[in-house]
Amino acid sequence: MKYSELGLVNTNQLFADALTNNYAIPAFNIYNMETLTAVIDAARIAHSPVIIAVSESALKYMGSDMLIGMIRGAKISPTEGFALHLDHGKDFNICKHAIEIGFSSVMIDASKLSLTDNINATKHVVDFAHQYDVSVEAELGTLAGIEDENTFGTTSTYTNPDDVETFVNATDIDSLAIAIGTSHGAYKRKRDDEELQFDILSEIARRLPQFPLVLHGASSIPQKLITTINEFGGKISGARGIDDTQLRRATQMNICKINVDSDLRLAFTAAIRKSLSEKPDNFNPREFLSSARAEMTQTCLNEIKNIMGSNDKINTHP
Ligand code: G3H
Ligand code: 13P
Ligand code: ZN
């Protein structure tokens, strides 16, 4: 299925506007009906373009037909600026599958390979994807943290600015994910004063002028959500995210896609814990799932307005 039949757009026009006007498109991860509608509701309320991100494990969890059925059910119009993006595709086959079922954007994550092998794997995907006008993101450098259900990275390697022009020219990718100190999951920093590597970001932006850059592992880990989770029976300690101010600064420096998954997981979990704890006699899942969906929408709205700056940006697209 061609993605345009689902009302989706690829990321090219979204990134062009984000770069010109110094904001970031949020990429929010989804994995079921509640999370998909929470993200879509927030985008519609805030008039924000949004990248609906689906990891390989989330795609396996939902099933391809179910996901595409839900996307169709959302009755998306191309003027709303929704892209459907494969997050951390590990090889050509999963990217090809995503493109064939209706994704408008894919990430090929060969960042753990050598530069040459990363280029080859990425170019293979680009050559296929561009035939269908699907945009491609790739990654240089590696983030610490959990990148997939089976992959635990413990160390990070910052992106080497010396590699970026070679990589982009050799692959013809549409956006580049870089490693400047963010990491996946809820435990990103040991201390509050740890800074992202803005000097690396600025050097990459200098070498790739007007080229869309992507920040993975960029959840801010709102402490209010951690407090609620712990207040209602959870046990999460030492979780720390990326400071809002630093994320906003990155949006002024060619970062035009910011990936958020952990914050939304926290919102969903906090609301379910609170709802079940406050109404111990409830066994109607629709009740606690409604609370979870509403809390997730609110978290998306907060981040669209306070971090991404993408609110009220859909009218700028034809
Ligand atoms: O970057 C990874 C995302 O947070 C997806 O995680 O594979 O558990 O869905 P997942
Ligand atoms: P967080 O774990 O910081 O939400 O990162 C999500 C992400 O990068 C998805 O690709
Ligand atoms: Zn990621």
Q: According to the model, what pLDDT value does residue 100 have?
A: 98
Tokens matching residue 270: 């906090």
Give catalytic residue positions.
Answer: 87
pLDDT of residue 153: 45
* Ligand 2 pocket member 216 (CB < 6 A): yes
Number of domains in the chain: 1
Which residues span the domain enclosing 195? Answer: 3-316
Kindly report the number of other CB atoms within 10 A of residue 252's CB atom: 11
Can you give the pTM of this predicted structure?
A: 0.96
30 exposure class (CB count in 10 Å sphere: 0-12, 13-18, 19+): buried
Q: Cα–Cα distances in Å, from 308 out to 22, 84, 271, 276, 303?
A: 9, 18, 23, 32, 6
218 lines ligand 2 (CB under 6 A): yes
CA 255 to CA 249: how far, in whole Å?
9
Q: What is the pLDDT of residues 274-301, one digit of tens each?
A: 999 999 999 999 999 999 999 999 999 9
Q: What is the pLDDT of residues 9-68, one digit of tens each?
A: 999 999 999 999 999 999 999 999 999 999 999 999 999 999 999 999 999 999 999 999
pLDDT at 315: 67
Nearest of 202, 221, 106, 210 to residue 159 by alpha carbon: 202
pLDDT tens digits, 239-286:
999 999 999 999 999 999 999 999 999 999 999 999 999 999 999 999
Encode pLDDT of 304-315 as tens digits. Answer: 999 999 999 996
Which DSSP category does 200 fall into? H
**Nearest ligand by distance to the CA of 189:** 2
Q: Which residue has the tokens 């296929």?
A: 128
- The Å distance, Cα 280 to ligand 3 centre, comes to 36
- pLDDT band, very low/low/confident/very high, at 4 (cuts 50, 70, 90): very high
Residue 236 neighbours by CB distance under 10 Å: 16
Q: What pLDDT does residue 150 have?
A: 33
Residue at token pair 């099933």: 63
The bound ligand whose nearest atom lies closest to the alpha carbon of 217 is 2
Helix (H, G, I), strand (E, B) or coil at 214: strand
Tokens linked to 164: 């970026």
Our measurement of the distance from residue 123's CA atom to the centroid of its chain's CA atoms, rounded to an integer in Å, reads: 22
The pLDDT assigned to 192 comes to 77
Q: What is the pLDDT of residue 316?
A: 52
pLDDT per residue as tens digits for the range 122-180: 999 999 999 999 999 999 999 876 543 333 345 679 999 999 999 999 999 999 999 99
With a CB cutoff of 8 Å and minimum separation 6, the contacts of 81 are: 9, 14, 43, 48, 49, 50, 313, 314, 317
> Which CATH number fits the domain that encloses residue 230?
3.20.20.70
Say if residue 5 is exposed, middle or buried (CB neighbours under 10 Å; 0-12, 13-18, 19+). exposed
Of the candidates 156, 219, 148, the one whose C-alpha atom is nearest the C-alpha of residue 187 is 219
Do β-strands 151-153 and 145-148 pair in parallel, antiparallel, or remain unpaired? antiparallel
Is residue 259 within 6 Å of ligand 2 at its C-beta?
A: yes
> Which atom of ligand 2 is nearest to 219's Cα?
3
Looking at residue 304, its amino acid is I
Is 57 near ligand 1, meaning CB less than 6 Å away? yes
Distance 193 CA to ligand 1 centre (A): 26
Confidence check: pLDDT of 222 > 70: yes
Alpha carbon of 163 to ligand 2 centroid (Å):
24
Decide the pairing of beta strands 175-178 and 151-153. Answer: unpaired
Question: Amino acid letter at 187?
Answer: Y
| CA dihedral of residues 83, 86, 87, 91 (deg, nearest 10) | -150
Give the pLDDT score at 113.
97
